[in-house]
Structure 1
Amino acid sequence: MNVSRSDQAAPAAAPVVAQQPEVAGAAATAEAAPGGAVSSLRARLGPVGLVLAGGISVQFGGAVAVSVMPRAGALGIVTLRLAFAALVLLAVCRPKLRGHSRADWGTVVAFGVAMAGMNGLFYQSVARIPMGPAVTLEVLGPLVLSVIASRRAVNLIWAGLALGGVFLLGGGGGLSGLDPVGVAYALGAGAMWATYIVFSARTGRRFPQADGLALAMVVAAVLFLPLGIVESGSKLVEPGTLALGAVVAVMSSVLPYTLELLALRRLPAHTFAILMSLEPAIASIAGFLVLSQALTVAEALAISLVIAASMGAVRTQVGRGKARTARDSA
């Protein structure tokens, strides 16, 4: 929240929103018209394809980032990613700097700090453990947030599935099979991802469109710049490193954000969250294809359990939201 993308909604913790009436009406009209069933199916599958494409982009971008770490360092590649993403978002969004309160700026700064922490901790993790397990551990942060927010007993089932997955990640021995420092970084990234979700929502309420995201990205980039300089120094400005950093920024931030923004205009948030729960699996595939990181059977099962837990937590939130709506309308 993957190689953690700094601009994504999180699996199992996205707010549930009703489909817009005009979208629902258009879908009903399409189904009633000749050939409408096919058109309606395309309308539903199109946004799903955009979300999956965004997930593939961010995870393969993360795999590219891992391959660049030997020449730029983990902190260096995070610095380049955030800096390039901030420049692109500033150019596209052109956020207004006037007319915001001190509380608005405090929120966007906290959002940027969470963004920087999430990315920095995660990249430190994938420098030490394979991508699939790292993303799986990171997803626990949003999953825990979802379970706490729902406050339903059924979420104990999802928590149990997730814990079972964590146990299997170490080959049945807890996490003993993985680098403990890498595990700690991944769990820390998950905690920061949960924090990111909270401040992302608050920023969205205080700033129009993607202005808050662009400003938070600048905060994150500025915070990381000294760290990147200390670790990598002049390596950051080598043409090859700069080019690869730009590729990582586009694949891991700019392209996924654009695709998901388009998808969320036509896709309910809970469906989006369920699709994003698949990212540990996508990360595992990216790690295998790009970095030759093979998974054991136990690790594959562990990732499957955490994915199932994330999907279950999302469905529980959806059911709770529908029940609340029914009570309010009764």
Structure 2
Amino acid sequence: MLSVQLGSALSVGLIAQLGAAGTAWLRLSAGAVIFVLLARPPLRDVRRRDVAPLLALGVVSGLMSVVFLAAIDRIPLGTAVAIEFLGPLMVAAVRSQSRQALIWPALAMAGVLLLTEPWHGSVNLAGVGFAAVGAVFWASYILLTQRIGDRFSGIKGLSLTIPVAALAAAVLGVPQAVGHIDLTVIAAAFGLALLLPVIPFALEMVALRRMTPAAFGTLAALEPGFGTLIGLIVLHQKPSVPQLLGMGFVVVAGAAAQRGGQRPLVDPTPAQAGA
């Protein structure tokens, strides 16, 4: 979460130069190069039934990056993350196996409302809209990442999906970025790619092999807190008292969600056994 939010905050300067889609495309392209170098794509292990989820995860990852950067270009980082968190929150609520467990998503939701402060009235509808679309992509990303993580060991799945994500972002990103790319921009893109997607996507892939989507989704309630903190330190976006209270709510919900959230380790498939 720290890597995601730091990478997002540091991308703001690049967004001003390349646009949100252009920044997402260049950053994902750099990430794809890094993943392919770190882990050779296991093309021989891909079965016909793997193709659809691999492509879906790639497209979702690419579009999620585009809409999130478009959101933080318009609204504060913590607010954008809080709205996007509604996606994992719904995953946690829908996949919960007991009514008691719904207490924690409800508490997290109260925290999200305090972080967004919708009662102030002056809302950038485009920014909120992009973040809301990102919530749908985030929920889909959690479920698809778990499936791919169960199928391929380590980061091998990411060496397949991140290039697809870069291609998906290229549709909107290339027209925005053309004419604005130089060696400095490329170097910045590779640095940002380490923060997002390389480090967090790899860690999330490993985490989702060991946790239920509900536990992971509710633990993601910590994300608005990280977004608010990094927004304060890096972007000088000062939170209000209600937003700080909301951060406390989501931290409590995230800590409580860890109970009973461990998954049995998945038996290795042939793709995993060969790693």
TM-score tier after normalising by the smaller chain length: 0.7 to 0.9
Task: Say which one has the larger Rg.
Answer: 1
1:79 paired to 2:25: yes
Contact 2:74 2:124 in 1 (8 A): yes
Contact 1:85 1:253 in 2 (8 A): yes
> Which deviates more from structure 2 when the two are superposed, residues 109-118 or residues 152-161?
152-161
1:303 corresponds in structure 2 to: 247
TM-score when normalising by structure 2: 0.83
Aligned ranges 1:157-306 → 2 under 5 Å:
157-171=103-117, 173=119, 176-235=121-180, 237-257=181-201, 260=203, 269=211, 273=216, 277-306=221-250
Q: Which amino acid aligns with 2:224?
A: P
1:142 paired to 2:88: yes
| Residue 171 (structure 1) shift | 3.3
Task: Give the share of equivalent positions with the same residue, in percent.
Answer: 32
2:77 corresponds in structure 1 to: 131
Mark the CA change 1:203 to 1:171 in structure 2 (over 3 Å): closer, same or farther: closer
Residue number among 75, 95, 112 corresponding to 2:41 in the alignment:
95
SS state of the match for residue 146, structure 1? helix
| Residue 149 (structure 1) shift | 0.5
**Residues paired across the two proteins, number:** 261
Contact 1:147 1:313 in 2 (8 A): no
| Residue 254 (structure 1) shift | 2.2
1:30 corresponds in structure 2 to: none
Residue number among 80, 98, 107 corresponding to 1:152 in the alignment:
98
TM-score when normalising by structure 1: 0.70
> Which deviates more from structure 2 when the two are superposed, residues 190-199 or residues 157-166?
157-166
CA distance in structure 2 between the aligned counterparts of 1:105 and 1:170, rounded to whole angstroms: 38
CA RMSD of superposed structures (Å): 2.9
Contact 1:204 1:212 in 2 (8 A): yes
| Residue 261 (structure 1) shift | 7.5
Mark the CA change 1:165 to 1:153 in structure 2 (over 3 Å): closer, same or farther: same
- The runs of 5 or more residues in structure 1 that have no matched partner are 1-54, 323-330
CA distance in structure 1 between the aligned counterparts of 2:111 and 2:222, rounded to whole angstroms: 14
SS state of the match for residue 211, structure 1? coil
| Residue 217 (structure 1) shift | 0.4
Which whole-Å deviations, capped at 9, do the CAs of 1:34-63 have from their partners, x for residues lacking one? xxxxxxxxxxxxxxxxxxxxx323221111
SS state of the match for residue 187, structure 2? helix
- The runs of 5 or more residues in structure 2 that have no matched partner are 265-275
